[in-house]
Amino acid sequence: MQNAIITGALTLVAATTPAPAASATKKLFLDVHDVGKGKVTAKDVSNAHKQDLATQGTYGVDFKAYWVDEKAGRIYCLAEAPSAEATHAVHQKAHGLVASKIMEVTADNMNWMPTPGMKLYMDIHHLGPGKVTAKDVASAHQRDLEVGHKHSVKYLNYWLDEKSGTVMCLSEAPSAEAAIDVHREAHGLIPDSIEEVTEGR
């Protein structure tokens, strides 16, 4: 991966058990690694994640989960950390695969649990700085939950980087189209992109 450009705060990373609520001294970050099409496998990411877990304690970081889209060559890592710089330092020390972007985010919950065997999708809404609040996203997410069963879709979690106006939603769905249909019916906020991902912890 290229050298990281830390902008805002996004970092997805993993733990072996359901994560507790973010501590008062740590923030939640979601980072994005754009490796390139055909340049990463789920096995590669699993190995790199193990290296992150072995290194994180030195920097006070706690990686919670990661998601990988092998087709697009993109990885998302979620972590609790004292700063975006700390999450960057873990990646750099552990394996050198640093993120292209790190966002500080808030989450709906820290106890989501995907259903084994179900397809997972990550969709991304770029709404713009100052264009969305935590209250707005919570309200839209509630409508997704109310509509989802009509399309056999279950929205598991979302992350908001209020500074950049970026919202990322994680869902179980039979297809990307079904997940988008829920957003369309629930509130009309169609994501800018959606990709099938696998999750690791």
In the chain, % of residues over pLDDT 70 = 88
Domain boundary among 84, 106, 128: 106
Instruction: Please provide the distance, in angstroms rounded to a whole number, between the alpha carbons at the two ends of the chain.
Output: 21
The closest alpha carbon to 77, from 46, 116, 108, belongs to 46
Q: Do 93 and 130 have their domain in common? A: no
* 39-42 contacts, C-beta under 8 A, 24 or more apart: 39/73, 40/68, 40/70, 40/73, 40/75, 41/70, 42/68, 42/70, 42/198, 42/200
Domain-located, residue 114: no
Q: Do 129 and 191 have their domain in common? A: yes
Would the pTM count as exceeding 0.95?
A: no
**pLDDT tens per residue across span 72-88:** 999 999 999 999 999 99
Side chain identity, residue 122: M
Domain boundary among 66, 84, 106: 106
Q: Do 87 and 137 have their domain in common? A: no
pLDDT at 55 over 90: yes
- CATH for 154: 3.30.70.3090
Domain-located, residue 154: yes
Segments of 70-163 assigned E as strands: 74-81, 101-104, 106-107, 120-126, 154-161
Q: Do 94 and 152 have their domain in common? A: no
Domain that holds residue 192: 120-200
Domain-located, residue 112: no
